[in-house]
A = this chain, B = another copy of it.
Amino acid sequence: MHRSEIENLPTTPAHKARLLSRHNLVETTSGLAGDYIQANLIVLRAEYADDFRMLCARNPVPCPILGATPIGDPHRIMPTIPGVTLVDENDFDIRTDIPSYHTFRTVDCSKNGGKKKKVLIETKPTLLSDWTTEHIAFLIGCSFSFEQALTQQGLKICHQVQNKTVAMYRSSIPLLPAGIFHGSSFVVSMRLYRPEQLEEVRNVTRPYLATHGEPIAWGWEGARSIGVDDVGKVDYGDVQVVRDGEIPVFWGCGVTPQFAVEKALERNAISGTVMSHKPGQMLVTDWKITDFLEQTRKQLDLNG
């Protein structure tokens, strides 16, 4: 399908965004279908699901779990919060509806004189050849979900202005261990603001509890305190141009589980292939941001 065909279809902006992704017509999904929650992906064999759920429960800021497929069924998402429709099941396939994917597996490279095993990461347009009836796909909240709220307050998004993918870093904040997942740290996303904008940035993003919420660190000293010594060296996404007077502001990032998976693979604690989205290229869900905020309010009331 061509872009114009998809854009003229009588369907929702979220469905159009997924169709554009399915046909590899978009790169970063930042700013795409701004009224809808976006999600990170991690796909694991079912035997690792309990540890992964525990990892998310213990680290809800970088790993807010929104829902998961049944085992082996790529067409249906069961939401974490009952009654929410995360994705309409009529025309959905988690294996194709994200622009690009990453796969992770260990390869033996002792012949090359290196250490015996290393983790091979490949980028693919679909997961059709890797998905099996043993796999579960987990959706994790994404900070793209609150970017529209920021821009509506005049708090421009640097990577949208610069037409880049968001800058992401492996920080020094330890990810709290759960079962086979230990020894990794938070991945963080970064946006640039002026110091006088900070309080408003914090206030605007705070209610988005399940899409990373308010920032976890800010300023140049804050960057160093979380192990980001040079914002010009990204671990995922693109380097951003820092203008005079701007400071970096960091949020938890749903790429964090990919780093946790890599560490588990390095220790041979996971066998087979793990899959994810390519950082910056998300699943656009059917869950409207207004409905999501209402659910978040209820959750906080319940938990308080």
> Given A58-B60, A60-B58, A209-B57, A214 and B300 touching (CB < 8 A)?
no
Chain A interface secondary structure, helix, strand, loop or mixed? mixed
**A176 and B209: CB pair below 8 A?**
no
**B214 and A80: CB pair below 8 A?**
no
- Closest B residue to A179 using CB positions: B206
How far is it, in angstroms, between the C-alpha of A213 and the C-alpha of B206 when the chains are bound?
A: 26
Interface residues of A in 152-181 (CB under 8 A from B): 173-174, 176-179
Jot down 8 A-B pairs with beta carbons below 8 A, ordered by A: A53-B300, A53-B303, A58-B61, A58-B209, A80-B303, A82-B302, A176-B216, A178-B213
- 10 closest A-B pairs by CB: A53-B304, A176-B216, A61-B176, A58-B61, A80-B303, A53-B300, A57-B303, A173-B174, A57-B209, A65-B303
Interface residues of chain A, those whose CB is within 8 Å of chain B, are 49-50, 53-54, 56-61, 65, 68, 80, 82, 173-174, 176-179, 202, 206, 209, 213-217, 225-226, 252, 299-300, 302-304
